Chain A
């Protein structure tokens, strides 16, 4: 697990993370490092805890044990001697502003135009002047290939376009880390490619990303690390060339045969 150069502290450190819902253990002691600029892809059968792990990283779910640390700061808690005390919502909100998230169902705000979707949080949360936020939003839209769609409403766009707006919206907060929760699972097959291309561009530009996906091709091409989860544990982790071509764990092998 402890891979290579240990000198530089990883951007994200997950240690001993546990979470259960009403008696069923969903995460059973997860340890994970994500280094700055790296892309980590989480794979695993449904119910293996990938999405829950992702949602714990920006504290949309409260863990039952263990901790997540981003840039040296514990997420959602404050250390007080032998205790981790839960932070007030206001402080958690401040931490989240540095972690962007892209959802399976896009979750764009349907009553706002594309431009309002992208500029609302930067203006309200980061206090960016509106003019600057709009200029930045236009750049981001161009970057995801949607320049000129500022005044559209989300429902007037295809799923692939909506997801690209959602990515632009997350980028507008200038996050240090981007989380993707099955970003292409709700898309028609012919629209998957346009979203994956944008994600690949982001990876190339050095964005740190944690991606839950079933797109093995994307994992092979873009991921620095592939993590395979099963039953709330990490059963295999390493560079895609190893994990995807020669999985050692039997569950990972079965899963890969099923999806490929």
Chain B
């Protein structure tokens, strides 16, 4: 008669007032009011502050939309006129493929640099460290101009014995067009930053994984590609999404070497007709659309690399919630289910 246990043996259901006969054992202590406690309804904690702030934010959001739509000085009709204009579309196209090319080759290089940085070979390690140090120190704008103006620094390049006779030489003038300078400069920039992102991801992988693969007789290259890199991806993808979206907009610095990307195309138009804000809106809306698409893509990439990370046994499928459920769960006042509350708030 010394235990104070309110839950009772195995029948904690609040409904039936008469529990099943208790199993043999020491009799449980009964306190006054146990019956009421057992039949009481469980009330979850309310969050009135969330509702109030959501309401206030909705009003502010409505005001924002209202002023953007009704302020005539935004000249939305002009925005509409120029939105899919030929020169803008060409700029958009250039921005897209420059970003894609720069990110693809930058990451290829960056993964290599990260692997070098973690290698046992001190020469490779030193080389990778120096590369990252130098490329992260030089502003991308300076880099673009450096490659573009290479001819003024080194008018002639030659092949030969170092400090000895030379076999061949060529002039560097016109070696780098604006677009090639942009590609090379931004690629090296991405390589330096992405190598650090990749290195962080590689370090996050349990060293036991490498060891197990080695014990199975796998070679270093296969261990890296098949075992370590895929497991590093969940740590690499979010930061890389950031870098990609950043680079999408950072490509606009190519305007300094007269490469016509999305932003520069709009600039060329508004320097003639002075419709500055509407044309900047054209570029901004395009950037918003592209960023949105990339964010959605990032969601699916993250979900792909999360395979095997869940404990639910639906044949290894990642958490079954799709993009829409998660987006809706994060909107205030909409579709907040119990599971969303448990997971996200």
Is A101's CB under 8 angstroms from B215's CB? yes
Hey, which chain A residues are within 8 Å of B209, CB to CB? 107, 109
Query: A103 touches which one: B211, B231, B308, B310 (CB < 8 A)?
Result: B211
Is A99's CB under 8 angstroms from B308's CB? no
Instruction: Give bound CA distance, A256 to B7, whole Å.
Output: 45
Closest A residue, CB atoms, query B233: A111
Is A151's CB under 8 angstroms from B308's CB? no
Judge if A96 is at the interface, Cβ distance under 8 Å. yes
Is B216's CB under 8 angstroms from A156's CB? no
Is A107's CB under 8 angstroms from B217's CB? no
Is B309's CB under 8 angstroms from A93's CB? no
Closest B residue, CB atoms, query A126: B217
Judge if B222 is at the interface, Cβ distance under 8 Å. yes
Judge if B73 is at the interface, Cβ distance under 8 Å. no
Hey, which chain B residues are within 8 Å of A155, CB to CB? 308-311
A121 nearest CB across to chain B (Å): 4
Taken residue by residue from 154 to 181, chain A's Cβ proximity to chain B (1 for < 8 Å, 0 otherwise) reads as 1110000000001001100100000100
Hey, which chain B residues are within 8 Å of A124, CB to CB? 218, 222, 226
Is A96's CB under 8 angstroms from B217's CB? yes
Is A105's CB under 8 angstroms from B214's CB? no
Query: B208 touches which one: A93, A103, A113 (CB < 8 A)?
Result: A103
Instruction: Give bound CA distance, A246 to B311, whole Å.
Output: 47
Judge if A125 is at the interface, Cβ distance under 8 Å. yes
Query: A110 touches which one: B219, B222, B308 (CB < 8 A)?
Result: B308
Is A110's CB under 8 angstroms from B217's CB? no
Hey, which chain A residues are within 8 Å of B316, CB to CB? 113, 151-153, 156
Is A107's CB under 8 angstroms from B230's CB? no
Instruction: Give bound CA distance, A89 to B223, whole Å.
Output: 13
Is A120's CB under 8 angstroms from B208's CB? no
Judge if A143 is at the interface, Cβ distance under 8 Å. no
Closest B residue, CB atoms, query A154: B308
Instruction: Give bound CA distance, A107 to B211, whole Å.
Output: 8
Judge if A198 is at the interface, Cβ distance under 8 Å. no
Hey, which chain A residues are within 8 Å of B137, CB to CB? none
Instruction: Give bound CA distance, A109 to B206, whole Å.
Output: 10
Hey, which chain A residues are within 8 Å of B208, CB to CB? 103, 105, 107
Is B215's CB under 8 angstroms from A100's CB? yes
Is A96's CB under 8 angstroms from B214's CB? yes
With A107-B211, A156-B316 given, is the CB distance from A89 to B220 under 8 Å?
A: yes
Hey, which chain A residues are within 8 Å of B269, CB to CB? none
Taken residue by residue from 85 to 129, chain A's Cβ proximity to chain B (1 for < 8 Å, 0 otherwise) reads as 000011001101101110101011111110000001100110000
- Interface residues in A207-243 by Cβ distance below 8 A to B read none
Which of the four size classes fits the interface of chain A? 35 or more
Judge if A40 is at the interface, Cβ distance under 8 Å. no
A150 nearest CB across to chain B (Å): 10
Q: Pick from A108, A111, A112, A156 the residue with the most CB of B within 10 Å.
A: A111
Is A58's CB under 8 angstroms from B215's CB? yes
Q: Pick from B214, B308, B315 the residue with the most CB of A within 10 Å.
A: B308
Hey, which chain B residues are within 8 Å of A166, CB to CB? 212
Q: Pick from A103, A112, A169 the residue with the most CB of B within 10 Å.
A: A112
Query: B308 touches which one: A94, A96, A105, A112 (CB < 8 A)?
Result: A112
Q: Pick from B212, B227, B311 the residue with the most CB of A within 10 Å.
A: B212
Is B217's CB under 8 angstroms from A156's CB? no
Judge if B307 is at the interface, Cβ distance under 8 Å. yes
Closest B residue, CB atoms, query A105: B208
Hey, which chain B residues are within 8 Å of A105, CB to CB? 206, 208
Closest A residue, CB atoms, query B120: A89
Instruction: Give bound CA distance, A173 to B230, whole Å.
Output: 23
Instruction: Give bound CA distance, A101 to B313, whole Å.
Output: 28
Judge if B312 is at the interface, Cβ distance under 8 Å. yes
Is B227's CB under 8 angstroms from A109's CB? yes
- Interface residues in B183-206 by Cβ distance below 8 A to A read 206
Judge if A60 is at the interface, Cβ distance under 8 Å. yes
Is B308's CB under 8 angstroms from A111's CB? yes
Is A89's CB under 8 angstroms from B219's CB? yes
Hey, which chain B residues are within 8 Å of A100, CB to CB? 215-216
Hey, which chain A residues are within 8 Å of B305, CB to CB? 111
Is A125's CB under 8 angstroms from B212's CB? no
Is A90's CB under 8 angstroms from B219's CB? yes
Hey, which chain A residues are within 8 Å of B315, CB to CB? 151-152
Is A97's CB under 8 angstroms from B308's CB? no
Is A60's CB under 8 angstroms from B215's CB? yes
Hey, which chain A residues are within 8 Å of B310, CB to CB? 155-156
Hey, which chain B residues are within 8 Å of A125, CB to CB? 216-219
Closest B residue, CB atoms, query A124: B222
Hey, which chain A residues are within 8 Å of B211, CB to CB? 60, 103, 107
Instruction: Give bound CA distance, A98 to B217, whole Å.
Output: 8
Hey, which chain B residues are within 8 Å of A108, CB to CB? 212
Is A173's CB under 8 angstroms from B312's CB? no
B263 nearest CB across to chain A (Å): 40
B320 nearest CB across to chain A (Å): 14
- Interface residues in B311-345 by Cβ distance below 8 A to A read 311-313, 315-316
**Which 4 residue pairs are nearest across A and B when measured between Cβ atoms?**
A97-B217, A107-B212, A153-B308, A101-B215
Give 8 pairs: A residue, B residue, CB < 8 Å, sorted on A.
Answer: A89-B220, A93-B214, A103-B212, A111-B308, A121-B213, A121-B216, A152-B316, A155-B310
Could you list 16 further interchain pairs (A-B, Cβ under 8 angstroms) beyond the known A109-B209, A153-B316, A154-B308? A58-B215, A94-B217, A96-B215, A101-B212, A101-B215, A103-B212, A107-B208, A109-B213, A109-B227, A111-B230, A111-B307, A125-B216, A151-B316, A152-B316, A156-B311, A156-B312
